[in-house]
Amino acid sequence: MRINKHLIIASLALLSTLFISSCEKDDDSQVSNNTGNATVKFNLTDAPASYDAVYIDVLEVKVHVSNSGDTSNADGWITLPNTQPGIYNLLDFQNGIDTLIASGDVPAGKVSQIRLILGPQNSVVVNGVSEPLKTPSAQQSGLKLKVNYTLQAGIVYEFWLDFDASRSIVAKGNGGYNLKPVIRVFTKNSTGSIDGYVSPIAAFSSVLAYNAAGDSASGMSDTASGYFLLSGLNPASYTVEFDPISPYMATDTMGVNVATGVVTHLDTIRIN
């Protein structure tokens, strides 16, 4: 029985973050004995969207590190010193392409939350016309991305911020667009990926992978090659659903197994 993809996407759009789980057990006694610094790196990537361009204005990235995980403690917030502020076109970073936006050394301990601080120069280009993206006032303190990860001293940790442009841009009824970011945070050492090609390329298919636990990731096939990549998936068996443009017909691939640190390659998906 086909799961309603649109229902899944509508539900996920209510969330702006997903949790990621550490490969290490969160243990307060372990953290308290863990002295020194760890290095964190944050890369920006995007699930493809059908716009000409999507620009976001990155100002800074903050992380909260503490033994308790209590984000109300202001002393735990650290602004990463090596942040690359600027206006980024999300559509430049699709299907496995990414860019480093922030890095730095932080005290070892529990990372419970990340904050991505955006400026006012956010916009979307639709049919050659640039439109400003209005960000809700509640997000002025930063986009809060919940994380559950324990940093050990002397280790480099690399995270990916998967900024889903397709779900994050909401058209207003009276014209214009709002930016309501949907961002997945993941590490490649605790998740896996699915990739492949859609044929014919002209089918330009959206791709959705989901499992019985409700984990999911979405993307679109590349307009030049038909390639797609879904990253940051928890190890499990997935159904991958392909929804091409008209007149092509949707199709599913079931029982796609994802393992930690592995890219599962699908045979070319041929769409009629």
Relative to beta strand 177-179, strand 129-134 is parallel
The total number of residues shown for the chain amounts to 272
Report the percentage of the chain scoring pLDDT > 90: 58
Supply the pLDDT for residue 26: 38
Report the percentage of the chain scoring pLDDT > 70: 82
The predicted-structure confidence for 195-205, as pLDDT tens digits, reads as follows 999 999 999 99
Task: Report the C-alpha gap between 259 and 257 in whole angstroms.
Answer: 7
Cα–Cα nearest to 182, from 17, 7, 11 = 17
The predicted-structure confidence for 98-148, as pLDDT tens digits, reads as follows 999 999 999 999 998 999 999 999 999 999 999 999 886 545 568 889 888
Q: In the predicted model, what is the mean pLDDT of residues 171-186?
A: 88
Relative to beta strand 123-126, strand 53-66 is antiparallel
The predicted-structure confidence for 138-177, as pLDDT tens digits, reads as follows 455 688 898 888 999 999 999 999 988 888 899 888 888 9
pTM of the entire predicted model: 0.77
Q: Which stretch of DSSP H or E encloses residue 188?
A: none
Cα–Cα nearest to 3, from 171, 223, 254 = 254
